[in-house]
Chains A and B, each alone.
Chain A
Amino acid sequence: MAHPEERSRALLSNLLIAGDGTIPSRLLRAVARDWSSNDVAVVDGWLLARSEARLCAVLYLEEAARA
């Protein structure tokens, strides 16, 4: 499933770390919220919470920018 509208490090980072608390706690909360509301993404067959997929995308875009 492709989501070209989210192909931006800044946008993805904002979506991921919105809210209070440390970044890991915000991410964990976001993932738990995604599972509860069935907000999921399928990546090569693997079912991920939307925030997990976004985190992977941010990391990929960071790597790509460095390269």
Chain B
Amino acid sequence: VIEDLRDYPRGLAVQADVCLIGAGAAGITIARELAGTELRVCLAEGGGLQYEFAESQSLYAGTNVGIPVPLQAGRLRFFGGTTNHWSGRCAPLSEIDFRRRPWIPHSGWPVDRTEIDPYYQRACEVAGFGSKWRSDEETLALLKAPLPLLNPEWFRPFIWHYAPAMKEASTWRWAKAYGTLLAEADNVRTLLHANFAEFSLSRDRTRVGSVTVRALNGVAATIEAKNYVLCCGGIENARLLLLESQRNSGGFGNDQDRVGRYFMQHLRGRAGLIVSAEPMTRLQNQFNFLRGPDGLQVEVGLTLTPEIMEREGLLNCSSVLQYEPDRESGVTAAQDIWRALQTGRWPPEIGDKVGLIAEDFQELAGVLEHRLASNRTLAGGVIPSKSAVLLVDLEPAPDPESRVLLADDRDALGLRRVRTDWRHGERERQTAARLASLVAAEFARVGIGRTRLESWLRDERVSAVDALDGVPHYIGTTRMSEDPREGVVDRNCAVHGMQNLYVAGSSVFPTAGQANPTLTIVALALRLAKHLRE
């Protein structure tokens, strides 16, 4: 059943076995997993079923003292959480991401990839792929575009899978996919507009006795459960633990001052421009957003081998290409005219474009024939291109000084707002520079094109902070470690020093890898659900 806390003006007392706080990818996955079991589940979500900026979303406001972090735009405070603006881009973390890497301080998970693998398989189903997730080898074979023979000592292809579209949504949406299932589950009670207010502790301070949640109209509920899981996202999980640690003069995983530290975001930057004398058609069918049979949608890029990362002390990283339209091509000119006419406009510089079409008429006729045969419009499919932007995606290095803190001002519920001090540094620049240089050299060797590298990769006086954008994946603030001096939760995602408080989400990742985090969030949520059942 899904209810709105505001509909209970006298308040509410709920008994449950498991209380999940936050209904994003992690919270919904655990609730879905426990639906239909013997456990009574209460899923408390701060927002409603829709985006409400003036109410719920404004609770996310905060301040930045380091590199700016989009605290409002990067998060969504309503049922479904950030899955409501998820692109569907999925990849598991690599085996090396879980390892302790002596060249990266604070690296290493207390679990290895083989322990997570069975959950990755099921995570693919939860993320909308059903049984259609394919291995890299199968995917490349289905695409029928053999990759160029790049140096296998340096590179491996890296494949991002895109979750399928849903009716009225361009990609998979957890709220849409699982809302009905949760609403109909007899053992799951979802409370909307139920914002975390405070925990009450047992006398020995090792157990949470209950949690109070509150709507913005003042109505409160007390949820008494056997186990509690924070599923509020990479920033909010840390904020709530910091609030409770401060209110209780310690505890909540923060006795060693670890909560909120190691705050990371993935980084993306423009590394260079690859140019070619000839159209890049073949490359565009190899490294690009590609579609295959049976709804297959992927992006193919490159990553470095673990051996070269280790030998050269690099972070995990990958690279993709963004093709630029060839402005001298008659096909591009015809596409421009087509698009303009579709929007009822007369295209600018029509004379020049007609001239280009006349010069390339034969090629244009061939493209048209192919598009019509494949039932595509002229503007669909591969654009003619002789240049491509080389983009790099980087794993950030864990840094205890990069952190989430509490600000002095308070939100509408009277809780201290968040303050972020996000940092990244020279190690990320060095990794980007090496990756770009290796890609450029290899593309030159096999005759793909020549590359001009961006100035931030070759001149230390140019700011890497300005060149690199943070991708709003908030990671590391309640990191997993068997040693309470090094982390906030243990290998089962239980908060150190607490017997019945758990954390789910990317905040428990000790390192971020370079892959998008959703699949790993879901895999760990499935693993935690199993732990809670047992």
**Interfacial residues, chain A to chain B (CB-CB below 8 A):** 1, 32, 35-36, 38, 40, 42, 44-47, 49
In angstroms, Cα B451 to Cα A40, docked, is 12
A1 to chain B, nearest CB (A): 8
Most interface-central of B437, B438, B444, B451 (chain A CB within 10 A): B444
A40-B437, A42-B458, A45-B458 known; A35+B452 contact, CB < 8 A:
no
Contact assessment for B458 and A38 in the assembled complex, using a CB-CB cutoff below 8 Å: no
In the complex, chain A residues whose CB is within 8 Å of the CB of B454: 45
Cβ-based interface call for B453 (8 A):
yes
- Smallest CB gap from A40: residue in B: B441
Cβ-based interface call for B440 (8 A):
yes
B380 to chain A, nearest CB (A): 34
In angstroms, Cα B454 to Cα A32, docked, is 24
In angstroms, Cα B447 to Cα A35, docked, is 11
A38-B438, A40-B437, A42-B458 known; A47+B451 contact, CB < 8 A:
yes
Contact assessment for A46 and B451 in the assembled complex, using a CB-CB cutoff below 8 Å: yes
A62 to chain B, nearest CB (A): 23
A47-B437, A47-B440 known; A42+B445 contact, CB < 8 A:
no
In the complex, chain B residues whose CB is within 8 Å of the CB of A46: 450-453
Contact assessment for B458 and A35 in the assembled complex, using a CB-CB cutoff below 8 Å: no
Contact assessment for B453 and A45 in the assembled complex, using a CB-CB cutoff below 8 Å: yes
Contact assessment for B444 and A35 in the assembled complex, using a CB-CB cutoff below 8 Å: yes
Contact assessment for B450 and A47 in the assembled complex, using a CB-CB cutoff below 8 Å: yes
A40-B437, A42-B458 known; A47+B453 contact, CB < 8 A:
yes
Q: Which of B438, B441, B452 contacts A45 (CB 8 A)?
A: B452
In the complex, chain A residues whose CB is within 8 Å of the CB of B310: none
Cβ-based interface call for B455 (8 A):
yes
Cβ-based interface call for B421 (8 A):
no
A42-B458, A45-B455, A47-B437 known; A35+B450 contact, CB < 8 A:
no
Contact with A along B411-426 (1 / 0, CB 8 A): 0000000000000000
- Smallest CB gap from A46: residue in B: B452
A36 to chain B, nearest CB (A): 7
Interface of A is mostly: mixed
In the complex, chain A residues whose CB is within 8 Å of the CB of B445: 32, 35-36
Cβ-based interface call for B257 (8 A):
no
Contact assessment for A49 and B458 in the assembled complex, using a CB-CB cutoff below 8 Å: no
B174 to chain A, nearest CB (A): 43
Residues of chain B from 451 to 500 with CB closer than 8 A to chain A in the complex: 451-455, 458
In the complex, chain B residues whose CB is within 8 Å of the CB of A32: 445
B439 to chain A, nearest CB (A): 9
- Smallest CB gap from B154: residue in A: A38
B288 to chain A, nearest CB (A): 22
List the 9 closest pairs (A to B, CB-CB), nearest first: A35-B445, A47-B440, A45-B452, A45-B453, A46-B452, A38-B441, A47-B451, A40-B441, A42-B458
In the complex, chain A residues whose CB is within 8 Å of the CB of B458: 1, 42, 45
Cβ-based interface call for B442 (8 A):
yes
In the complex, chain A residues whose CB is within 8 Å of the CB of B442: 35
In the complex, chain A residues whose CB is within 8 Å of the CB of B151: 36
In angstroms, Cα B42 to Cα A17, docked, is 77
In angstroms, Cα B448 to Cα A35, docked, is 13
B507 to chain A, nearest CB (A): 38
Most interface-central of B438, B440, B441, B451 (chain A CB within 10 A): B441
Query: Could you pull out 9 A-B pairs where Cβ atoms are within 8 angstroms?
Result: A35-B441, A36-B445, A40-B441, A45-B452, A45-B455, A46-B450, A46-B453, A47-B441, A47-B453
In the complex, chain B residues whose CB is within 8 Å of the CB of A40: 437, 440-441
- Smallest CB gap from A35: residue in B: B445
In the complex, chain B residues whose CB is within 8 Å of the CB of A1: 458
In the complex, chain B residues whose CB is within 8 Å of the CB of A35: 441-442, 444-445
B496 to chain A, nearest CB (A): 45
B5 to chain A, nearest CB (A): 58
In angstroms, Cα B444 to Cα A32, docked, is 9
B398 to chain A, nearest CB (A): 29
Contact with A along B39-73 (1 / 0, CB 8 A): 00000000000000000000000000000000000
In the complex, chain A residues whose CB is within 8 Å of the CB of B455: 45
B277 to chain A, nearest CB (A): 15
- Smallest CB gap from B451: residue in A: A47
In angstroms, Cα B438 to Cα A45, docked, is 14
Q: Which of A42, A44, A49 contacts B444 (CB 8 A)?
A: A49
Most interface-central of A32, A42, A47, A49 (chain B CB within 10 A): A47
In angstroms, Cα B449 to Cα A47, docked, is 11
- Smallest CB gap from A49: residue in B: B444
In the complex, chain A residues whose CB is within 8 Å of the CB of B272: 45, 47
In angstroms, Cα B272 to Cα A46, docked, is 9
In angstroms, Cα B445 to Cα A35, docked, is 5
In angstroms, Cα B445 to Cα A36, docked, is 7
B481 to chain A, nearest CB (A): 37
Contact with A along B254-273 (1 / 0, CB 8 A): 00000000000000000010
A52 to chain B, nearest CB (A): 9
A8 to chain B, nearest CB (A): 25
In angstroms, Cα B4 to Cα A54, docked, is 73
B375 to chain A, nearest CB (A): 41
B121 to chain A, nearest CB (A): 38
In angstroms, Cα B458 to Cα A47, docked, is 11
In angstroms, Cα B443 to Cα A40, docked, is 13
In angstroms, Cα B451 to Cα A38, docked, is 14
In the complex, chain B residues whose CB is within 8 Å of the CB of A49: 441, 444
B113 to chain A, nearest CB (A): 29
